[in-house]
Amino acid sequence: MSDILMKIKLKIWRQKNSNTKGKLVDYDLEGVSPDMSFLEMFDLLNDQLVESDQEPIAFDHDCREGICGMCSLMINGEAHGPRDRITTCQLHMRSFKNGDTIVIEPFRAKAFPVLKDLIIDRSSFDTIIQAGGYVSVNTGMVPPANTILVNKKDSDLAMDAAACIGCGACVASCPNASGMLFMSAKVSQLALLPQGKPEAKKRVQNMLTTMDELGFGNCTNHAECEAQCPKGINISNIARMNREYFKAVITGHDE
């Protein structure tokens, strides 16, 4: 690790619960190594707060490997911070300079209410998946790989869409708080494959209806979602989802 330690000023959103007003609180933190991850910096700060009998800052994390999507934060106004194609847990303090002021807030969206401090409720994403982000098949022994043939182009597009980790950066970055990039990724990864086609019409209609009911906005092609997505999900998935939706409306809702 680097021998040069940093001193930074933090402005962190503190909010007791979803029923109270929050505010930005200032913290001065010394002894920050440039090699620390952003969440390790939080650990250092929380250790100091506990030692001084103050309440630690609540923030979400799990794998700390860029897989789970729980570490979602707005850092200086950008989802996951200033680096492209990484999650907050993959951001290192060397991305900042000694003496910098860093403003840290939770994702802002009607469908993502703040639970406490930097923790938001993203269960609306789970509700959308429950509405249709799955296939209903009988499970059994794994069939040979060539039993169901899928062309290379479709399989690659499906895998790219499946890379979505549901972190919510797309929603937080969109001026409309739209969930279209997330939902289109979930629709695309199934719509492109033979296993997902039998329920395609019902899936896209149910998921879109649920998304609207949960208070997400619509897409107006700002493309901020793609720019801030840590997995680089392409907005062409939104066009594909719209085609799936109009096809379902025109040809009828299958059961």
Which H or E element spans position 237? helix 236-251
Secondary structure of residue 254 in the 3-state scheme: coil
Q: Do 161 and 189 have their domain in common? A: yes
Q: Among 81, 115, 149, identify where a domain stops.
A: 115
Q: Is residue 232 a part of any domain in this protein?
A: yes
Q: Do 15 and 62 have their domain in common? A: yes
Environment class of residue 104 by beta-carbon count within 10 Å: exposed (0-12), middle (13-18) or buried (19+)? buried
Q: Which residues on neighbouring strands pair with residue 79, listed in sequence order?
A: 74
Q: Is residue 101 a part of any domain in this protein?
A: yes
The full 3-state SS of 99-127, as one line of letters, equals CCEEEEECCCCCCCCEEECCEECCHHHHH
Describe the crossing of helices 123-132 and 200-213 by its angle, rounded to 10 degrees: 150
Q: Is residue 152 a part of any domain in this protein?
A: yes
Q: Looking at the 3D structure of the chain, how many domains does it have? A: 2
CB 178 within 8 A of CB 241: no
Q: Do 33 and 52 have their domain in common? A: yes
Domain span holding position 68: 6-115
Instruction: Residue 247: give its domain's CATH number.
Output: 1.10.1060.10
Q: Do 163 and 72 have their domain in common? A: no
Each residue of 180-189: b (16+ CB within 10 Å) or e? bbbbbbbbbb
Q: Do 91 and 171 have their domain in common? A: no
What is the sign of the dihedral through the CA atoms of 183, 120, 63 and 42?
positive
Q: Do 189 and 238 have their domain in common? A: yes
Q: Is residue 95 a part of any domain in this protein?
A: yes
Q: Is residue 27 a part of any domain in this protein?
A: yes
Rounded Cα gap, residues 29 and 45, in angstroms: 7
Q: Among 85, 115, 145, identify where a domain stops.
A: 115
Q: Which residues on neighbouring strands pair with residue 116, listed in sequence order?
A: 119
Q: Is residue 17 a part of any domain in this protein?
A: yes
Q: Do 35 and 146 have their domain in common? A: no
Rounded Cα gap, residues 186 and 130, in angstroms: 11
Q: Residue count of the chain, please give it.
A: 255
Could you list the pLDDT tens digit for every one of the 255 residues in the chain? 456 899 999 999 999 999 999 999 999 999 999 999 999 999 999 999 999 999 999 999 999 999 999 999 999 999 999 999 999 999 999 999 999 999 999 999 999 999 999 999 999 999 999 999 999 877 778 778 778 889 999 999 999 999 999 999 999 999 999 999 999 999 999 999 998 999 999 999 999 999 999 999 999 999 999 999 999 999 999 999 999 999 999 987 554
Q: Among 60, 91, 115, identify where a domain stops.
A: 115
Q: Do 76 and 174 have their domain in common? A: no
CB 189 within 8 A of CB 118: no
Instruction: Residue 84: give its domain's CATH number.
Output: 3.10.20.30
CB 103 within 8 A of CB 75: yes
CB 188 within 8 A of CB 196: no
Each residue of 215-229: b (16+ CB within 10 Å) or e? ebbebeeeebbbebb
The single-letter code of the amino acid at 36 is M
Q: Do 149 and 101 have their domain in common? A: no
Q: Do 88 and 150 have their domain in common? A: no
Q: Is residue 45 a part of any domain in this protein?
A: yes
CB 86 within 8 A of CB 66: yes
Q: Do 128 and 85 have their domain in common? A: no
Q: Do 47 and 18 have their domain in common? A: yes
Sequence-distant contacts of 236-241: CB under 8 A, at least 24 apart: 237/161, 237/181, 237/184, 237/185, 237/187, 237/188, 238/180, 238/181, 238/184, 240/184, 240/187, 240/188, 240/191, 240/192, 241/180, 241/183, 241/184, 241/187, 241/188, 241/191, 241/204, 241/208
Q: Is residue 1 a part of any domain in this protein?
A: no
